[in-house]
Amino acid sequence: MTTTSRPAGEPLAAGLSIGALSRITGVSVATLRTWEQRYEFPVPHRLPSGHRRYDHATIDAVTAVARQREAGVDLPSAIAGALAPGGADGSSVFLEVRRRHPDLPFERIHGRTLLAITRALEDECCARAYLPVLFGGFQRQSSYEPLRARWADLARSARATLVFADFQDVAVTGEPTRVPLRPGSPLLREWFVVCDGPDRAAALVAAELPGQERRPMEDREYDAVWTLEPEVVRTASRVCAAVGLAAGAMDAEGLTHHLAMPVAYLPDPVRPVLLFNRIVAYLDRSSGDGER
């Protein structure tokens, strides 16, 4: 670590000056001061000499915020994610979509309905889009395994594919990149499918209501939003990419820059009808097997 200057008699363990913190993290002194004034982050402590110093743990938090900002996450959410248990893994796709797009309606649905919408999005959007970025939230690895071959097939025609669950570690083996979720991550209670492509955009994001561990999956209740609006889809994509980056997924670093670009895709008015028809068809023949 770079040695930083400090007043005589003050040990290095006393912490970092704002200048040293800036040099290590790459965030300017002016930006750090603005964050502190507006959001009380990062928080320094004051030495007996009166000098302000930052704990060394602040380096990781500031770096996490800077990375999420590069991914397009707004500053308050980036700070909240960095300070949450698990760091950036504390981000919630559902809450960020709801916060950034408060007019977007949500519905309380059962897992059986969620499965139908999921399959419809996978077939109508993920499989038909041109080089999309795909994100899938499976909560548990046991939920992902039955669909592993399906998502491996989707990944073959995608720019990048990241799947999230309680995996043990990041894995890239010619199939979707696995992103492990730490204990306490909000994404362990969230189910999502996000397709962000140059010609198609779609997202389903749902949060499982608490206290349903003993219910079979198809009977569990979720608060869910689904959309074909490119701006909303991009919000979900950026949060997913930021979580992937924090977990060390190799694909995520390039994705954060790609997803920081403005959305250029204009929705096709016919596609919502096609998706709706696909959802109805899946609901009609749904067996409620609860495989995901």
User: In this predicted model, what pLDDT tens digit does every residue of 225-284 receive, in sequence order?
Assistant: 999 999 999 999 999 998 888 888 877 778 887 888 888 766 676 677 777 888 888 787
Element (DSSP H or E) covering residue 254: helix 250-259
Residues with Cβ within 8 Å of residue 277, at least 6 apart in sequence: none
pLDDT for 95 equals 86
C-alpha to C-alpha distance for 62 and 41, rounded to whole angstroms: 9
Strands of the 107-110 sheet, one edge to the other: 107-110, 221-227, 201-208, 190-196, 133-139, 160-165, 177-180
Does residue 19 have a pLDDT over 60?
Answer: yes
Task: Note the pLDDT tens digit of each residue in 146-162.
Answer: 889 999 999 999 999 99
204 confidence band (pLDDT: 50, 70, 90): very high
Task: Note the pLDDT tens digit of each residue in 52-72.
Answer: 999 877 888 898 888 878 877
Give exposure, 109-148, as e/b (b: 16+ Cβ within 10 Å). bbbbbbbbbbbbbbbbbbbbbeebbbbbbbbebebbeebe
Q: What is the distance between the terminal CA atoms of the chain, rounded to a whole angstrom?
A: 45
- In the chain, the amino acid numbered 230 is P
Element (DSSP H or E) covering residue 99: helix 93-100
Map out the domains of the chain with their CATH numbers.
12-85 (1.10.1660.10), 93-284 (3.30.870)
Q: Which range has highest mean pLDDT (89-98, 130-139, 250-259, 270-279)?
A: 130-139
DSSP 162-203: EEEES-SS-B-SSSPEEEEPPTT-GGGGEEEEEEE-SS-EEE
Secondary structure letter of residue 106 according to DSSP: -
DSSP SS3 for 264: coil
